[in-house]
Structure 1
Amino acid sequence: MYQTVADLIAAAERQHQPLWRLVLDQEMEYSKQPEAAIMERMRGQLRVMEEAARKGAAGVQSPTGLSGGDAAKIKRYRENGGGLAGDTMLWAIQNAIATNEVNAAMGVICATPTAGSSGTIPGTLFSLDQRFHYTDDEKVHFLLTAGGFGMITANNAMIAGATGGCQAEVGSASAMAAAAAVEINGGTPRQSAEAFAMAMSNLLGLVCDPVAGLVELPCVKRNVAGAVNALAAADMALAGISNRIPADEVIDAMRRIGKQMPASLRETGRGGIATTPTALKMKMRIFGEDVTNEDDGAVK
């Protein structure tokens, strides 16, 4: 198993193989399954992502009312010619929101790498697919590359908001998506690593402060930030821009920051946005209970 990003990149360059191939070979060795079986399983995951994006864009609502319907709004806005940042960006926004709204509505999604960050990778991949029209195999290769970087991140740091804040969830997903976006569009393995490092660096310190402890607000829209950040990092890497700080050092920085975060900012719903006056009213409406703001110890 590749322990570091540096190991993965060195192997790709030494063997003259794409990153997805190395990740697939590693999965074959680890799972003892043939390539065809793994590819079919990944196609199944891809179909789940595609269906979640489609269903969310049609309009879904969560049981709490904290999220829902926003992907449909973006879809209408895009179809009516709206958009300040271009069509690719709007597709990224739509698919990221759609996927996370389906998650909040208790629908079926693919955790990439978690349910709370499940919209970032589909948001990135499907927005690019609208422009470049990838084959199913190419999209699976995208997911394999993203997964390879995700495994390294999980093994050396964390991917859960409860242990490292949202930087570990949306931050990791954004970095994974950026690396895969570079490769699927002809970049080198080293450029994929640069994109990964830039995307993760941009979201270091992002806290996990879900309103009422539910993976809805601000989580759904943070996946938009993750997808947009991934596209920007991929473009920078493809243009030849370097992060200067290597990917493995960025992963370790994320780990150290996560360890330093107070529990109130790690998915407990007891800090940040979750303890604003409006958020506390929302929690009271949903659960009928008051809370103490643990940012400063004051009762709000």
Structure 2
Amino acid sequence: MSFTNLEELICEATKEQTTIASLMINLEVKQTGLTEKQVVEKMKEQFKIMKESVRKGTLESVQSRTGLTGGDGHRLFEYANKHQSFVESGTLLTAANALAVSEVNAAMGRIVATPTAGSAGILPAVMVQALDSGRFTYDQIIHSMFTASALGLVIANKASISGAAGGCQAEIGSATAMAAGALVELAGGTPTQVGHAVGIALKNSLGLVCDPVAGLVEIPCIYRNGLHAITAQAAADMALAGVRSIIPPDEVIQVMHEVGQEMPESLRETGIGGLAGTPTGQKLKEKVLGQSSKENGPAKYSSAYDIVGPIMVGPSSSHTAGAVRIGNIAYQLLNEKPKTVTFTLMGSFAKTYQGHGTDLALLAGV
């Protein structure tokens, strides 16, 4: 089956009396020719990197390469362990986990894009916290990662997971929905409840713009990861309690796509509008990049690792890792070492290349 419709996925899992994760694993086995054990082992490697980035950012004060952000994952981790917070400490630790991964990404450390680098903190945050809670086994966590990837595939194929195409709702919103649904299945919820969690989580992110200050995956990206990790947990609990998404999740996903299409370019990862366009945002841009001027068709996805992956160096899955790949493809087409190279950047690449290191990434590719 193609992962393009959540209702079909829910019906299939219900009919077969199985989990959405199992359907995803079966598809991966069929597509790759790998054994189920090999498919699961690959996901274990993804989770290993996730857990490492959580630990690094919570136990150490990780600073971004620009110096604009850093250390908040560690600060929140320390505060949560004092047990003096308004929210339950485990919930706050989840937010700390998400900040931690996002800060490792901003420091150009190794993370797993889930589904992108800009939203890479949410799924690791909730899964590592679920593991740390002692309620679930390691194998159960790995199994639920396939639930998240299946949900992400539907969103990616039906709408978008790119901030440049659909705003931050497409990245943070998608990651929140993936994490919420995965938590429901992890806790033994039904496929229908998984769908409700997706709908509830995604509705809470509709209209969220992508407005990175100075074009960097730092402000407000890092903080959005932290807060939306908590949203994922809340959405999962609501669904498990029997709360329903009155608007079916497939319709919510479609609306997210339509809202993204209507967003102006200035609010889709160009670093022009929103918080990026504020006086402070412009000053930070000038400080980091030496400039302050504001004048600056959906792909098809089929694999779990199109969504939970790749393992990469940050800060951006599209503008850094993607740029390396573009450069490498150009090199392969040329089939010899170039003497000189001229790059012409367009769209959000042209507007945010310095903050994302796109120029260096392209050079690395060739």
Which band: TM-score by shorter chain? over 0.9
* 1:161 paired residue number: 163
Distance 1:196 1:243 in 2: 8
**1:1-300 correspondence to structure 2 within 5 Å:** 1-57=2-58, 58-292=60-294
How far the C-alpha of 1:123 sits from its partner, in A, is: 1.4
How far the C-alpha of 1:136 sits from its partner, in A, is: 1.9
Q: What whole-Å deviation, never above 9, does each CA across 1:148-179 have from its counterpart, x for those lacking one?
A: 00001000100010000000000000000000
Distance 1:63 1:162 in 2: 23
Q: Please tell me whether the aligned partners of residues 71 and 95 of structure 1 are also in contact (alpha carbons under 8 angstroms).
A: yes
How far the C-alpha of 1:128 sits from its partner, in A, is: 2.4
Q: Tell me, what secondary structure is at the counterpart of 2:118? A: coil
How far the C-alpha of 1:83 sits from its partner, in A, is: 1.4
Q: Please tell me whether the aligned partners of residues 275 and 293 of structure 1 are also in contact (alpha carbons under 8 angstroms).
A: no
Q: Please tell me whether the aligned partners of residues 64 and 107 of structure 2 are also in contact (alpha carbons under 8 angstroms).
A: yes
Distance 2:222 2:255 in 1: 25
How far the C-alpha of 1:129 sits from its partner, in A, is: 2.3
Greater Rg over alpha carbons, structure: 2
Q: What whole-Å deviation, never above 9, does each CA across 1:135-156 have from its counterpart, x for those lacking one?
A: 2211111110000000010001
Is the deviation greater in 24-33 or in 143-152? 24-33
Is the deviation greater in 174-183 or in 284-293? 284-293
Q: Please tell me whether the aligned partners of residues 196 and 245 of structure 2 are also in contact (alpha carbons under 8 angstroms).
A: yes
Q: Please tell me whether the aligned partners of residues 166 and 257 of structure 2 are also in contact (alpha carbons under 8 angstroms).
A: yes
How far the C-alpha of 1:26 sits from its partner, in A, is: 0.9
Distance 1:222 1:3 in 2: 27
Which structure 2 segments of 5+ residues have no match? 297-366
Between the two proteins, the alignment pairs up a number of residues equal to 294
Segments of 4+ in structure 1 off by > 3 A? none
Q: What whole-Å deviation, never above 9, does each CA across 1:82-140 have from its counterpart, x for those lacking one?
A: 31110221111110000000000000000000000000111122222222442221111
Q: Tell me, what secondary structure is at the counterpart of 2:126? A: helix
Which structure 1 segments of 5+ residues have no match? 295-300
The CA RMSD measured in Å over matched residues stands at: 1.1
Q: What whole-Å deviation, never above 9, does each CA across 1:207-236 have from its counterpart, x for those lacking one?
A: 000000000000001011221111111111
Distance 2:4 2:82 in 1: 47
Q: TM-score, normalised by structure 1?
A: 0.96
Q: Please tell me whether the aligned partners of residues 3 and 157 of structure 2 are also in contact (alpha carbons under 8 angstroms).
A: no
**2:34 partner letter:** Q
Q: Please tell me whether the aligned partners of residues 152 and 174 of structure 2 are also in contact (alpha carbons under 8 angstroms).
A: yes
**1:189 partner letter:** P
Distance 1:124 1:207 in 2: 23
Distance 2:124 2:247 in 1: 27
Is the deviation greater in 60-69 or in 166-175? 60-69
Distance 1:293 1:197 in 2: 37
How far the C-alpha of 1:45 sits from its partner, in A, is: 0.2
Distance 1:2 1:280 in 2: 41
How far the C-alpha of 1:245 sits from its partner, in A, is: 0.6
Q: Please tell me whether the aligned partners of residues 150 and 172 of structure 1 are also in contact (alpha carbons under 8 angstroms).
A: yes
Q: Please tell me whether the aligned partners of residues 43 and 136 of structure 1 are also in contact (alpha carbons under 8 angstroms).
A: no
Q: Please tell me whether the aligned partners of residues 81 and 89 of structure 2 are also in contact (alpha carbons under 8 angstroms).
A: no
Is the deviation greater in 128-137 or in 276-285? 128-137
Q: TM-score, normalised by structure 2?
A: 0.79
